Amino acid sequence: MFKSDFNFRLPKYLIAKYPSERRTDCRMLFLDGHFGKRFDCQFCDILDIIKPGDLLVFNDTKVIPARLYGNKETGGAFEILIERLIDDHKASVHLKCSKSPQQGAKLLFDKGYEATMVGREGDLFIIEFTCDKKILDILDEIGHVPLPPYIDRPDENADKERYQTVYSREPGAVAAPTAGLHFDDSILDLIRLKGADIAFVTLHVGAGTFQPVREEDIHKHHMHSEYARLTQEVVDKIHEAKARGGKIIAVGTTSVRTLESAACASLEQGKFLAPFEGYTSIFIYPGYKFKLVDALVTNFHLPESTLIMLVCALAGYTNTMSAYRYAVKNKYKFFSYGDAMYVTKNKYAETEAEIDKKFKRI
């Protein structure tokens, strides 16, 4: 299975640079993954799709102002994007500058803050701030909202609120779980009134989510690792939803990856589902058999990305790529601030061999 199998033509004008006026003011494409049917909706129509007894699972991670600008002691400017907080004073970061700093080099920031480059982890730099103040407090003072690279504009004050879900509570993400950006408090209340239940998992989205798949053979791609947690309370809610015949609806691909990581780890222990906490690098692409997730609320994703591969695994390759071409033709808005999809599982999604056969590779 090749990266190029997941390519599609996307005009730049369909990339949303700003969010809608209200969170719920967007379009939503319903994709019936089993039959391949498509329906044009508004996001609020999700209230007609969700049924009493269903369980929606949200990612409650909170985006931190993870982009920093500064200068080296030699005067050269740099840009930092935090990948992961190691402790209260140390972080693993992506660093852009004309010449990489050596170990021990001082990095200077606004308001007199300083950090030292103390090591490397592959392409990432490890920096340690030299004052007593915690990194999160420093970021709140001088950090910028880490807008994705395809939103090619500086962050603005409005992004502090809109590039954050209304239910975020666990600081640590450097990218938003963007499917959740469409939900406001009112629609969450209406979902509960409908008789559906809500649960929260945590996955701290790393900057690696924007890293391209560089290998043409996708089996050679190594996923970035991200911290995830699923509690006993969520385990109980999933058991209850399954028992009453409700669907498990993941809000966002990060919720999918958390749920399926927990399910895979539980199966190794001979269990259906147990609490999970740790780092996951699960890579979901066509041929994967879902253990928990029945449906997905998501945005439209980058061509050739691991995220569109995940959607193809859920709804079927042919159905998903056809839906994306339909979305482009009908001018749906793409990516973080764009429109939404509601996708249901195809129980007979193509295997890798069937996709290879489609492309006459076997």
Alpha carbon of residue 325 to chain centroid: 22
pLDDT above 90 (res 209): no
The span from the CA of 337 to the CA of 232, in Å, is 32
The yes-or-no verdict on residue 20 having pLDDT over 80 is yes
In this predicted structure, the answer to whether residue 359 has a pLDDT above a threshold of 90 is: no
CA distance to 42, 248, 265, 316, per residue, from 289 (Å): 30, 15, 14, 11
pLDDT at 358: 85
**Is 337 a residue whose pLDDT tops 80?**
yes
Q: Which tokens in the block code for residue 237?
A: 């809610």
* Mean pLDDT over each residue of the chain, to the nearest integer: 95
pLDDT(87) > 90: yes
Query: For residues 226 and 211, what is the distance between their CA atoms, to the nearest angstrom?
Result: 13
pLDDT higher than threshold 80 for residue 362 = no
What are the E-state strand segments in the chain? 27-31, 38-42, 55-59, 61-63, 67-72, 77-85, 90-97, 106-109, 114-121, 124-129, 170-173, 197-203, 226-230, 248-251, 276-280, 295-299, 340-344
Q: Show the tokens assigned to 40.
A: 């044009």
The model's pTM is 0.94
Strand, coil or helix: what is 218?
helix
What's the pLDDT at 123? 86
Mean pLDDT of 298-316: 97
pLDDT for 210 = 80
Residue showing tokens 């008789």: 195
Would you place residue 52 in the very low, low, confident or very high pLDDT band (cuts 50, 70, 90)? very high
- Tell me the helix, strand and coil percentages in the chain, rounded to 5: 30, 25, 45
Q: Which domains does the chain have, with CATH numbers?
A: 3-63+159-358 (3.40.1780.10), 67-142 (2.40.10.240)
- Please report which confidence band the pLDDT of residue 36 belongs to, taking 50, 70 and 90 as the band edges: very high
